[in-house]
């Protein structure tokens, strides 16, 4: 059922369901409770069409947007004020607020993730470096450079055993009498 009243101030609609737009059909509305609805923001223009109303009814907020009027009315023909824009505005505010909160949560979580990852990596590197340093310090091969110089006769060419990709290899005799091969690393800056 969908008609305008004689004063052309109100639109009479069948109040059937907040979720089923198809119930606006004339056949379906027969014998159902009726009420007056008027536009809150623009009473003079009866701008409702069957389409726009059915769209509005489709929203769950429809009932919440209906505010009881003040004048004397029959129970079955209650007058309501309805601001169709209010629902959208409220929805827009809720959407904006939830999006902002969600975005903030996302940014915080992402930052937290990367900070934690960085801290864990540094802790791991420190641990690994510590282990490496320990190994080198405790190793018997941790020999002072001066001893290697003496052992190889100051990296004399006569002691050279060969040439590798990262340096020359020299024969050396350690203070304890052991013969060793010493690689003298050469760093190329180019």
Ligand X SMILES: Nc1ncnc2c1ncn2[C@@H]1O[C@H](COP(=O)(O)OP(=O)(O)OP(=O)(O)O)[C@@H](O)[C@H]1O
Which positions lie near ligand X, rule CB under 6 A?
Answer: 161-167, 169, 181, 183
Please, what is the minimum distance in Å from the beta carbon of residue 162 to ligand X?
3
3-class DSSP assignment, residue 11 = strand
Please, what is the minimum distance in Å from the beta carbon of residue 128 to ligand X?
22
Nearer to ligand X, 143 or 169 (CB): 169
Please, what is the minimum distance in Å from the beta carbon of residue 148 to ligand X?
14
User: Annotation-wise, does 183 bind a ligand?
Assistant: yes
- Report the C-alpha gap between 118 and 39 in whole angstroms: 59
- Report the C-alpha gap between 42 and 9 in whole angstroms: 10
Q: Which residue is nearest to ligand X (CB)?
A: 164
Contact 40, 86 (CB under 8 A): yes
CB proximity list for 36: less than 8 A, separation 6 or greater: 5, 10, 11, 12, 69, 73, 77, 78, 79, 80
- Report the C-alpha gap between 80 and 73 in whole angstroms: 10
Nearer to ligand X, 97 or 161 (CB): 161
Nearer to ligand X, 3 or 163 (CB): 163
Please, what is the minimum distance in Å from the beta carbon of residue 169 to ligand X?
3
Nearer to ligand X, 44 or 158 (CB): 158
CB < 8 Å & 24+ apart, contacts of 70-79: 73/36, 76/33, 76/34, 76/35, 77/34, 77/35, 77/36, 78/35, 78/36, 79/10, 79/35, 79/36, 79/38
Tell me the chain's radius of gyration from C-alpha atoms: 44
Nearer to ligand X, 55 or 163 (CB): 163
Please, what is the minimum distance in Å from the beta carbon of residue 138 to ligand X?
23
Question: Would you list which residues are annotated within the binding site for ATP?
Answer: 183
Question: Would you list which residues are annotated within the binding site?
Answer: 183
């Amino acid at each position: 059922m969908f008609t305008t009243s004689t004063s052309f101030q109100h639109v009479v609609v069948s109040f059937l369901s907040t979720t089923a737009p198809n119930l606006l059909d004339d056949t379906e509305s027969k014998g159902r409770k009726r009420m007056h609805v008027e536009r809150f923001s623009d009473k003079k223009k009866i701008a409702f069409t069957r389409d726009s109303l059915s769209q509005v009814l489709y929203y769950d907020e429809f009932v919440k947007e209906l505010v009881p009027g003040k004048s004397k009315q029959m129970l079955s023909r209650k007058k309501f004020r309805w601001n169709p824009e209010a629902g959208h505005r409220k929805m827009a505010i809720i959407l904006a607020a939830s999006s902002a909160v969600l975005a903030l949560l996302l940014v915080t979580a992402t930052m937290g993730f990367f900070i934690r990852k960085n801290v864990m990596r540094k802790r791991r590197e420190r641990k690994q470096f510590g282990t490496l340093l320990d190994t080198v310090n405790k190793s018997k091969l941790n020999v002072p450079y001066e001893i290697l110089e003496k052992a190889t006769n100051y990296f004399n060419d006569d002691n050279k055993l060969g040439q590798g990709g990262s340096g020359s290899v020299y024969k050396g005799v350690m203070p304890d009498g052991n013969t060793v091969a010493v690689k003298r690393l050469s760093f190329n800056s180019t």
